[in-house]
Amino acid sequence: MTAIEQYLIDTYRAAQHRDAPPPPPGRHDAAGSSARPVRTPGSRRSSTAARHSTPGARPSAAC
């Protein structure tokens, strides 16, 4: 049974009992909250570069 078919059955049952209809499928999925954020080029530097550099500073020479 698909999610749409189950939704239609639940909607019918709710109407028979005069209850509120269920939310449409996909509206409250857990997958939406666990999705990774979209990264755009230049939006984030690498974590090691961010920890070890100062903006505008030149890298130090190794002795």
Between 35 and 8, where is the model more confident? 8
Residue 34 C-beta-side C-alpha neighbours within 13 Å? 3
Band (20; pLDDT cuts 50, 70, 90): very high
Q: Residue 1 domain-assigned?
A: yes
pTM for the structure as a whole: 0.43
Between 60 and 17, where is the model more confident? 17
Q: Residue 54 domain-assigned?
A: no
Q: Residue 40 domain-assigned?
A: no
Whole-number mean pLDDT of the chain?
Answer: 75
Contact by Cβ (8 Å): 22, 7: yes
Number of domains in the chain: 1
Supply the range of the domain harboring residue 19. 1-25
Angle in degrees, CA 15, 18, 24, rounded to 5: 50
